[in-house]
Each structure stands twice: as C-alpha cells, then as structure tokens.
Amino acid sequence: MSVPSPDLSILETRVYRGANVWSYEKAIHLVVDLGSLEDHPSNTLPGFNEDLVQMLPGLREHSCSRGRRGGFLERLNEGTWLGHVAEHTALALQQAVGHDVRRGKTRQVKGERGRYNVIYGYVDETVGLAASRLAVRLVNHLVRADPGFDWDAELEDFILRAERAAFGPSTQAIIDEAVSRDIPWIRLNKHSLVQLGQGVHQKRIRATMTSATSAIAVDVASDKDLTTRLLGAAGLPVPKQESVRTAEQAVAVAERIGYPVVVKPLDGNHGRGVCLGLENADDVRAAFPVAEEQARGPWVIVESQITGRDYRCLIVDGRLAAVAERVPAHVVGDGRSTIEDLVDLTNADPRRGVGHEKVLTRIKVDDAALALLADQGYKLGDVPAAGELVKLTLTGNMSTGGISIDRTFEAHPENVEIAEEAARMVGLDIAGIDFICPDITEPVRETGGAICEVNAAPGFRMHTHPTIGDPQFISKPVVDMLFPPGAASRIPIVAVTGTNGKTTTARMISHIFKGMGRKVGMTSTDGVVIDERLVIRSDASGPKSARMVLQNPRVDFAVFEVARGGILREGLGYERNDVAVVLNVQPDHLGLRGIDTVEQLADVKAVLVEAVPRDGHAVLNADDPLVREMRRRCSGEVVWFSMAEPDSDERDLIDQHCRRGGKALVLEPSERGEMIVVRHGRREMQLAWTHLLPSTFSGRARMNVQNALAAAAAAFAAGAPLHDIRQGLRTFTTSYYLSPGRLNELEVNGVQVIVDYCHNAPGMKMLGDFVDRVGDSLATTSELGRPSRIGVVATAGDRRDDDMRELGAIAAQHFDVVVVREDQSLRHRERGATAALVAEGVRATMADGGRCKQLEVVLDEIAAVRHAMSRANAGDLVVVCVDQHPAVMAELENWSNQAQAGSGSTDGPVGDPDYARAAAAVVPDA
C-alpha cells in the first residue's frame, strides 16, 4: 500500500439555492479528488479518527446512515473514504457556529476513480463555502501534519467570518418566527435588509425597522428635543431640557434647570456620547465635546437628570410587548481579583461578543470607564472588597456591556399606558421607550420618573435573551403586525419544464392569468416579463431570474420557465412551486454537466415535481413514459394531459386516475375536429376546439395542441375558471408580439415565412410534421404548381455530434432545400464545425432518397435568411430556425420593403451590397 499524501482537493464547487437533483433544500455540491487517499480509508490512518473527533467534538452527535447518535464514529472506525469525512467535517464546522445543518451525502463520480460528489446543507452561503475549504485543509493536515496549519487560529477565523455574516439577534428572531409560519424570506443585502413574503405580499425589515415604519416618525425619534416637546405637549412625564450649540450655552442651561444634568447628542443612539450625573459647570464643559463628537449635527441636549432605574419598554403596533430593566456594565468584587481581572472574567462569558453578534456585549474599558472608576476611587489594578459593585458605565445600554432583567409582567398599568401613548405620539410601529424611575411597578407620575428617550429600531436581544428572567417572544407581535392571521405571504408559482415547448406553454399560462386581471411575472429564454412588459432581455430561465420576479412588489402570480442548465447550476430559485408542468423529456443537452442519458435528464427535470407541496399539483404528459414515471415523486396531486387516442394505454391510465377522483385534460376526436375535454372525477367538461385556437394553425401545429393542453391543465390546477382558460387560449396567438420566435408567421412578397426557435432533433421532428401539414395545405390551394419548401436550420455548438447529424437528417426529410447556418455563439467549436456536422446528416438523408434535393451552407444567420428568401418564389414556404430572432424579423421586414421598392425581381433586395457578399458566401452541396 502506498504512503498516504495530503491529496484531497476540490475540483468544482456549486451552490444550490433551492431544490436540486441532490436535495429538496439548498445545498453545496463539491466534486473532490482524493488522489492517493483513495487507497487509504479512515481506519488505515493512525491517529486520524481520534484527532478529528478531538478537534470537532460535535462529530460524536452525527448519526450518518446508521440513523443513531454516534453512527458516523462507527463509520470512521470501520473505515470510510475521506470525501465522506470532509462532508461531515463541513457540517460539524457549521454546527460549531450555531448553524442547524444536518443533511449531507457523498457519492462516487460514476466511472472516475477517486472522485466523489460531496453534498451538504448550509444556512449562510459564505459560511458554508468557507466550511468546505477549511474541512479539506483539516483532513489533509490530519493525514500529514502541515507546519503552517494552526487549527486554533483557523477555527477562530472561521467563527469570526460566521459572526460577520450572521444576522443580528433582532433580525434573526423575526426571521425565525416567519419561518415557523411558513413565510418565505430573501436576504436582500449582506447586512440586515430582508424581504418577508413574495411579490405583492412582501414586507421588508431591516433589523427592527419594517415596511410600515414611518420615515417621519424615525426623524422625530432621532430629534430628541422635538420628541421631548411632543411628549410634554401630550401630558407625558419628560425631563426638562434644551438644545445648545456651545459649551457655554450648555453651562447656562444647566444652571437654569438645576444640577445634576445629562448632556447627550440631539440625534444619538445606543447610549453613545451620553454623559450622566454632571454636578457642576466644569463637568458640563468636559462632557460637551464628548456629546458633540457623537452628534450628526451641531446640536447637543442638556436635560435634568432623573434618578432611578433604567427600564426599556418595547411597543409593537401600539401595544406593550416587553419590559426590561437595564443594568449598566459593572463587576462585583471577590476580595482577591483586580478590577481588570474581573472585567476579563466577565468578558469570558460565551454569551458576550463584539457589538451585536452575541446576546451580550463585551465590556470595553475606555477613557470614560477609567474616569468613572476614578470617581468611585478605583484604578484598574485595585482589588475591590467582596460583594462591592464597581460601575464601568453609567448608561444601561446592552451595546456598552450592560445586562438585562425581564420585568414584562411587573410593569404598572399606568406606566404601560404612558409607554404606549409615547409610541403613538411619535408615530413608530416598533418603539423602545426608555423610562427612568425608582420602580416600574409604581406609577411614574407618583414616584417622579420620566420618559428620557424614544428609540426607533430598538434592539430585541435584551428581551429575547435577558440575563435574568424569562425570554419574551416579541417577534410574534411583529410578524402579526406585518402578516395578520389569515394574510397571504406567498404568490402562486407555476413552473414549466421539458425539452421542447417550455416558452410557449409559459406564455400561454401567463396570457390566461393576465386575462383574469392578475399581475403576472414570467421568466423565459427571452427574458423577464412583468405585467406584459419585458424588463430584462436575456436567457432568464434560471434561478436568479425567478428570484427577481419574487422580489417585484407588483407581481401576484408567477410563471417560471425552468431549464435544465439552471437546475444543474444552482437548483431552483425558490422553495416550492404550487404547480409543476413537465411537457416532455427528449434527448437534448446530453453530455453536459454529467448528464449523459435521457433517464438522467428526466431526473433533473423531476426536481420541479419533487418541489410540489402536498396541496399542489404536478401537470404531467401521460404520452411520455419518462414523464409518467415522475408521478411517483409527487407529494401533491397529479393532473394528466394527453393527445393519445381514446383506446390507448395512456387513456386507460387516465381513466383509472379519473375514476379515483383525479383530474386530466384529453383530446376527444369527432367529425367536427378535436375537442379539449377537462375531466375531473366522473365529470367531463368541454373546453375548446383545437382548430379554433389561433396558436394551433387550425390544428396543424401539433406541438401547440400539446402546449395548449398543458397550459390549460396548469391553469385549471391553479384554480382558473374554465371560461377564463377558454378565453385565454382563444386569444393567444403566435404573433411576434405575443410569442416572439415561436412559430411566427408572416408573408413576404407572396412567400409564406415561418420563424421558429427549433434547435434540436426532437423539435425538428415536430416542426417537420407542421411543415408537412402546412405544405400539403399550400399545395392544394396553390395555382403556381407544387410549392417549394426551404428550411434554414442550425443547432447549438454544445450538442453531441450525433445529435447535430440527426437534426440535419430530419430536416432533409421535410424540406426541398436546406440552408445550414450557425449560431452567433459557437460554444467552444471552430467556425463551420457545427454546420459541417448538420450538413453530414442532411447528405445522409439525401443519399437515402429523402425529400431534400439541395443543401447549401451559409454560416451567417442574416446572410442565410437572405439567401433562402432569394431562392423562394411566390407561394413557397420558408421556415427559418432562428438564433437572434429580433434581427431576423427586422431583416424580413427590410427585405419586403426593399423588394417592393425595386423592380419586382426575386433575386434579392435591389442594389444591396450586403446581399451580394452573402450570396458569394454560399457553399453548395458537392
């Protein structure tokens, strides 16, 4: 056996932000290479298991596949591969910083020795990725010690990274409450800006400010002088105060209102710059620059000091939610330790951290603390007597190291009323009312207390994690305010996938619901459409585009085209879809990202079906055997659609399904044509004649008959009434304005032109069937003899060679002339290589006696269109399979205009030098 080397490495990293092929939830996917470690499972490495568990004790809790505590340790001792160890190490690292993640799996990459797919869950993406890198370094270090690897330093750096990425306690408390109510959330920035809910139902929070927080109220609360005057005018107890701009003005005000006084910034927060207990003019002069430094403007407040305890009353939506007594930062002597040692001991409490990262904040010994110690007769090196309380700050803010004691159920009703009235006067939906009074259990009007401050965006941690007393679940009233009981937080999501027909079906569904008055957000390969307005022009069939729609505050219904690439790259961009539509699974995009068979492709597309909740629906094509099998993966209800004949096996399946109360849409043939029929249990409801739907070209476009069935089934599953579905299908056309690049029909100088996005062999079969039906119809009506069929075809450069040849072979069965072009993006192939492979397929069919009699290669798309049009005569049919459809449509319109302005010749636009160059570029078949 070879000597083990630290060869574990990460070859590829993917972050899934939703359901994916490996997991129902978001996960990180690593492809790792073990190198020589493939020959060294964990039980063959001396000391490896013991050292790993010592460094990460949390591994003892991992159950692994054994399903019981300690299961992973059993696997370690029995011997498991180090890719599996890296998975559990990454999970344990995240658990060490408080992230509740337990899901993971490791599987060998098929056919590649030593390479493994490592998948594990995460809470925060940056932390999850950092965990993967540290896990690999740790495993390699344990295989062979790395002198430059300091575990303690690495772990501390990882913890600090996690703390920087984490939400504050207030934000996290609100998110946790939202999640418990099944309210979706999206983090909108790296800080605390969070969207709760989707689309039109969304609300936003930033810490404890919400969408309902008034900007005016925040400004009022920031102006402490204005706040005091408003509260005083309402008859609420407030201290005497005035605003000043100089130290001498501050002294004059202090002399007037009487000592002791407080000097603080006009618009400060978190107790910064607040100086208490000022007894004389010199104290005021010394305090003024401290307050002035923290002020955002030139004004500083001087107010009479109210003696007593410091209480924070939290008001949510006009009602008291919690009360906490805030005790300033301090230490208590033990008769042996110095004040400095006592501070270090207090800061060692694991609940204390920097700023707001923990439930308590570390005590900071600054100049103000040293001055306060001196006032009490102490220095840092002094040893206070046992039981002696030594103050380190005068304010009780948690952010300066104070502690909190819950007093929620002890507050006197009159004090509660005063606090609620103060929040109403300022206008805040969430407010922190600071009381100074001898005892909150006694009325402040009798004991001499007062409101000293009203705070916008008050912190929650003193209430959710009090140092003494019971925690208060104050996030509940916040979420109740944003989403009252019974209020919706999600918008309906319909997701459409399949090899062909996704875009047209998604457009049909959107059109149906737009006709019902819904504000529809749709993603497709053409871009992001919000309420029928194209806002982003790009291939938007991935998860990022889906999240853009869910963040739009106008959208109340979402339709997503979901492509294979997006699922493999990032998973779904959302948690679940109410309706999943799977049209077909056919051999396309094979050989990419580890998907080599059509069965594997079906597994990818089945992710949508697995994302259907129990009260959702999966709309499945009963005519496709791979799609039929997906019914076993659906937690919700299956709705079938089928074009099969009434006596077929597929219809038998549907009959059995409907006898059990299921739903389906089928075609019922008759002498008048084909009727789309909705079946629900024993009921049958006629929906529409297929030949009366404009998108089907009088029933000749069989692919759009299937798309219409799927769209109607999806709309029916989503709750649309039948008359709205019928109206939507009857008004949906394949015009360029409603369905750009999908069976767009136009006439150019007597030539019938069809523009379509067909780009793969299965799609070419359906397009060819349509061409045959349209061509036969033209032949029966033409007075100019047998019309010619000219096809401009191409495929993407990332398809397999055999797939390209097959597309060409199929095209040659349906067109008299085939013009082969190439896409603008060659996808890592040489110029002309893709066209050559397509041309091979065309020639093979021509040799076998296929319909095609002439093959020509024109690589440029626009030049190919011009060449095809130059060959066409009035009455002919030209089908253009496009890549850049806006440019092609503009060219066809330009061709028509120029030809009309010329002499009537069909040899090309008169005097067009670009056409001359294009014609010269034609490569005829040998």
Q: What pLDDT, on a 0 to 100 scale, did the predictor assign at position 325?
A: 94
Q: What pLDDT, on a 0 to 100 scale, did the predictor assign at position 895?
A: 78
Q: What pLDDT, on a 0 to 100 scale, did the predictor assign at position 901?
A: 58
Q: Residue 196 in contact with residue 185, Cβ under 8 Å?
A: yes
Instruction: Please tell me the distance from the alpha carbon of residue 172 to that of residue 218, in angstroms, as a whole number.
Output: 22
Q: Residue 77 in contact with residue 171, Cβ under 8 Å?
A: no
Q: What pLDDT, on a 0 to 100 scale, did the predictor assign at position 418?
A: 96
Q: Residue 778 in contact with residue 785, Cβ under 8 Å?
A: no
Structure tokens at 887: 């440019």
Write out the H or E segment, with its range, that includes residue 89.
helix 82-96
Q: What pLDDT, on a 0 to 100 scale, did the predictor assign at position 42?
A: 92
pLDDT tens-digit readout, 413-453: 999 999 999 999 999 999 999 999 999 999 998 888 999 89
3-state helix, strand, coil in the chain (%, to 5): 40, 20, 40
* Listed residue (489, 548, 556, 560) closest to 522, CA to CA: 560
Q: In a 10 Å sphere around its CB, with 0-12 CB exposed, 13-18 middle and 19+ buried, how is residue 837 labelled?
A: buried
Q: Residue 100 in contact with residue 123, Cβ under 8 Å?
A: yes
Over residues 350-362, mean pLDDT:
73
pLDDT tens-digit readout, 471-494: 999 999 999 999 999 999 999 999
Instruction: Please tell me the distance from the alpha carbon of residue 806 to that of residue 822, in angstroms, as a whole number.
Output: 16
Instruction: Please tell me the distance from the alpha carbon of residue 142 to that of residue 438, in angstroms, as a whole number.
Output: 60
3-state secondary structure 210-246: ECCCCHHHHHHHHCHHHHHHHHHHCCCCCCCEEEECC
* Listed residue (101, 103, 99, 130) closest to 118, CA to CA: 103
* Listed residue (766, 753, 700) closest to 876, CA to CA: 753
Q: Residue 694 in contact with residue 733, Cβ under 8 Å?
A: yes
Instruction: Please tell me the distance from the alpha carbon of residue 766 to that of residue 427, in angstroms, as a whole number.
Output: 63
| pTM of the full structure | 0.87
Q: What pLDDT, on a 0 to 100 scale, did the predictor assign at position 900?
A: 59
Over residues 266-290, mean pLDDT:
84
Supply φ then ψ for residue 162, to 5 degrees: -65, -40
Residue 622, Cβ neighbours under 10 Å: how many?
A: 25
What's the pLDDT band for 926 if we cut at 50, 70, 90?
Answer: very low
Q: What pLDDT, on a 0 to 100 scale, did the predictor assign at position 270?
A: 62
What's the pLDDT band for 914 if we cut at 50, 70, 90?
Answer: very low
pLDDT tens-digit readout, 181-221: 999 999 998 888 999 999 999 999 999 999 999 999 999 99
Q: In a 10 Å sphere around its CB, with 0-12 CB exposed, 13-18 middle and 19+ buried, how is residue 295 labelled?
A: middle
Over residues 365-393, mean pLDDT:
88
Instruction: Please tell me the distance from the alpha carbon of residue 513 to that of residue 686, in angstroms, as a whole number.
Output: 20
* Listed residue (895, 819, 897) closest to 852, CA to CA: 819
Which has the higher per-residue pLDDT, 439 or 394? 439
**Average pLDDT taken over every residue of the chain:** 90
Q: What pLDDT, on a 0 to 100 scale, did the predictor assign at position 371?
A: 86
What's the pLDDT band for 917 if we cut at 50, 70, 90?
Answer: very low
Write out the H or E segment, with its range, that includes residue 869.
helix 861-871
pLDDT tens-digit readout, 1-34: 567 888 899 999 999 999 999 998 999 999 999 9
Length of the chain: 926
What are the CA-CA distances from residue 462 to residues 318, 323, 405, 850 (Å)? 20, 9, 8, 81
**CA angle at residue 564 from 558 to 570, to 5 degrees?**
75
Q: Residue 177 in contact with residue 478, Cβ under 8 Å?
A: yes
Over residues 136-160, mean pLDDT:
92
Q: Residue 577 in contact with residue 495, Cβ under 8 Å?
A: yes
**CA angle at residue 511 from 507 to 514, to 5 degrees?**
135
Q: What pLDDT, on a 0 to 100 scale, did the predictor assign at position 293?
A: 87
What are the CA-CA distances from residue 756 to residues 752, 764, 815 (Å)? 13, 10, 15
* Listed residue (478, 436, 474) closest to 453, CA to CA: 436
Structure tokens at 189: 């920035």
Which has the higher per-residue pLDDT, 511 or 362? 511
Structure tokens at 234: 């309402």
Over residues 156-171, mean pLDDT:
89
The answer on pLDDT for 898 being more than 90 is no
pLDDT tens-digit readout, 687-745: 999 999 999 999 999 999 999 999 999 999 999 999 999 999 999 999 988 888 899 99
Write out the H or E segment, with its range, that includes residue 454.
strand 450-456
Tell me which DSSP letter residue 1 carries.
Answer: -
* Listed residue (697, 709, 615, 622) closest to 657, CA to CA: 622
* Listed residue (426, 77, 402) closest to 271, CA to CA: 402
Among the ranges given (57-66, 227-236, 351-360, 907-916), the one the predictor scored with the smallest mean pLDDT? 907-916
Over residues 272-292, mean pLDDT:
88
The residue with tokens 């997503």 is 560
* Listed residue (240, 212, 412) closest to 323, CA to CA: 412
Q: What pLDDT, on a 0 to 100 scale, did the predictor assign at position 461?
A: 87
Which has the higher per-residue pLDDT, 371 or 677? 677
* Listed residue (92, 89, 101, 98) closest to 163, CA to CA: 98
Over residues 321-338, mean pLDDT:
92
Write out the H or E segment, with its range, that includes residue 257.
helix 247-257
% of the chain residues with pLDDT over 70:
95
Instruction: Please tell me the distance from the alpha carbon of residue 504 to that of residue 510, in angstroms, as a whole number.
Output: 10
Question: Which residues, including other chains, have CB under 8 Å from residue 206's CB and lie 6 or more apart?
Answer: 171, 191, 192, 193, 194, 457
Over residues 88-106, mean pLDDT:
93
Q: Residue 58 in contact with residue 89, Cβ under 8 Å?
A: no
Instruction: Please tell me the distance from the alpha carbon of residue 797 to that of residue 821, in angstroms, as a whole number.
Output: 12
User: E-assigned strands of 300-427?
Assistant: 300-304, 309-316, 319-327, 330-332, 352-353, 360-361, 389-391, 403-406
* Listed residue (124, 66, 53, 118) closest to 92, CA to CA: 53
